[in-house]
């Protein structure tokens, strides 16, 4: 799984962008989006997904269940 940003809730504050350890977050058409190929759910970097921790709007950076759970390299 990766995280995704609920576009209708995103305020485009940009707070999440610099926090991502994988540079997975970028701006697109006025809101911010996560590249699911780059997102590791912050596993191996931090205890909690950074985007969700810094986002001012609750339930905006959420788990995207359409992707399989990220497997950290052994």
- 42 contributes a contact to ligand SF4 by CB under 6 A: yes
Determine the distance from the C-alpha atom of residue 20 to the mean position of all C-alpha atoms in its chain, rounded to a whole number: 7
CA distance 74 to 61: 27
- 4 contributes a contact to ligand SF4 by CB under 6 A: no
CA distance 22 to 40: 8
Return residues touching ligand SF4 (CB under 6 A).
3, 5, 10-16, 19-22, 24-25, 32, 34, 39-42, 49-51, 54-57, 60-61
Return residues touching another protein (CB under 8 A).
11-15, 17-19, 27, 29-31, 46-48, 50, 53-54, 56-57
């Amino acid at each position: 799984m990766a995280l995704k940003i609920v576009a209708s809730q995103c305020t485009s504050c940009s707070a999440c962008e610099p926090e991502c350890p994988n540079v997975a977050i970028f701006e697109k058409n006025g809101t911010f989006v996560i590249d699911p190929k780059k997102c590791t759910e912050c596993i191996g970097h931090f205890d909690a997904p950074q985007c969700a921790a810094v986002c001012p709007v609750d339930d905006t950076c959420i788990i995207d269940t359409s992707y399989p759970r990220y497997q950290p390299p052994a």
